[in-house]
Amino acid sequence: MNNVEENTARYDRARKVIPGGVNSPVRAFKSVGGTPVFIDRARGPYLYDTDGKEYVDFVLSWGPMIAGHAPESVVDAVRAAAEKGLSFGAVTEAETQIAERIRGILPSVEKVRLVCSGTEATMAAVRLARGATAREKIVKFRGCYHGHGDSFLVQAGSGALTFGNPSSPGVTRGAAQDTLIAEFNDLGSVQKLFAAQGKDIAAIIVEPVVGNMGVLAPEPGFLEGLRALCDGRNTLLIFDEVMTGFRVSLRGAQGLYGITPDLTTLGKVIGGGLPLAAYGGRADLMDRLSPEGPVYQAGTLSGNPLAVAAGLATLDLIMAPGFYDRLEALSARWENDLGAALARSPLPFRINRVGSMMTVFFSGKNVRDYDSAVACDTALFGRFFQACLREGLYLAPSQFEAGFLSIAHDEAVLARVAEKTERAVRSL
């Protein structure tokens, strides 16, 4: 049995006991074709599959591995924490330390609550916003993803002012009807919602840099306009920085664009690859959480000592002087090399990059919102993905996901990537 046959057999075995053979849908390669690669280990910028093949990794566990895979200091911190015990279900000093560290980095976060996943963080932030404002409706943006909570799995209705409809079976119309849909980078669509139902809107939740339609940057004035709409209306602005927090800059998108949200959700980088997320904001809001206030949220493994240890060690790495300058320089080279390879082909493309997040879209037009994203040539992206995979480049297996770079993708690695990308493009 050759490697392809062995990998297919692994996938067939997985599908017998796991829905679709995967524990998160995008891993199934449905939008790019082929059989998922089974990963055995990772180190620095590289993944190694079960058959031993090496790949330069641009997924990085969907963003957390900003310092590369298995950095020694993070592994050592987790090992030391594990030797003391895997979980206590009780308070630890390390939880206070990471909360203090987050507050010291993000001025908008006066208090923070640790959870285990980005979905938990966004669900809790919205519940807190509703509890604080005594309102029920939220505004989200078409194509933005905030986890798999019922309130977020909603698509637009027939008009800008209609209630959303559930976009997944199992989400009730009752859960969906309090979610209003606007268009990213279209402030007017938000203004119309506020004109019609502003007195009922508890919060706007937004990815300040979208990562779940591919990377979309906010246009000048958009985030500022959202902040202005919330001000004076008893409406809270929630920045979902699960992906962008500590990724697009040390202070995330809110630091990059100079906008202060009322609540922030964090994940991915904050846990250094372990299941850790958080939400935080103004103290007067956070003090409404149980046990101090009436808004309930709890979690058995929240603040898990191994995850907190990994998070603290990762924050130590990214706070080193020059870390983000170095990461930006490497990311710019990654963008330039990819653009140069594609420019030598007849393929229409656009590259969107913010910091170390990047997506190549196969389109002849700028990609700035949901409509322009879904108009891209996804079949061509699938062929590009497979060509890169054959060359040992592991990209996000979907046109509508962000790619990520780490500090471990140094000049030597990127020089190899440029050669592999050139060959992949020529094969198309």
C-alpha span between 393 and 388 (Å, rounded): 5
Tally of residues, the chain: 428
Contact 370, 212 (CB under 8 A): no
C-alpha span between 290 and 124 (Å, rounded): 12
Q: Which two tokens stand for residue 41?
A: 């280990």
Q: Which of 158, 193, 154, 159 is nearest to 173 (CA)?
A: 154
Residue with tokens 């050592």: 76
Residues carrying an active site annotation? 145, 240, 268
Distances (CA, A) of 94 to 17, 66, 116, 312: 37, 22, 15, 8
Other beta carbons less than 10 A from residue 335's beta carbon? 16
Beta strands in 192-290 (DSSP E): 201-206, 236-241, 263-266, 277-281
CB under 8 Å to 153, separation ≥6 — which residues?
166, 167, 168, 171, 176
Q: Which two tokens stand for residue 38?
A: 């089974």
Q: Which two tokens stand for residue 121?
A: 């963080």
Distances (CA, A) of 116 to 78, 92, 113, 269, 415: 16, 16, 10, 13, 37
Beta bridge partners of 216: 210
C-alpha span between 270 and 121 (Å, rounded): 13
CB under 8 Å to 106, separation ≥6 — which residues?
251, 252, 254, 255, 264, 280
Q: Which of 44, 50, 51 is nearest to 416 (CA)?
A: 44
C-alpha span between 280 and 263 (Å, rounded): 6
Distances (CA, A) of 262 to 192, 205, 280, 308, 377: 22, 10, 9, 24, 37
Q: Which two tokens stand for residue 112?
A: 């923070």
Indicate the residue type of 77. Answer: A
Q: Which secondary-structure segment (H or E) carries 298?
A: none
Pairing relation of β-strands 236-241 and 263-266? parallel
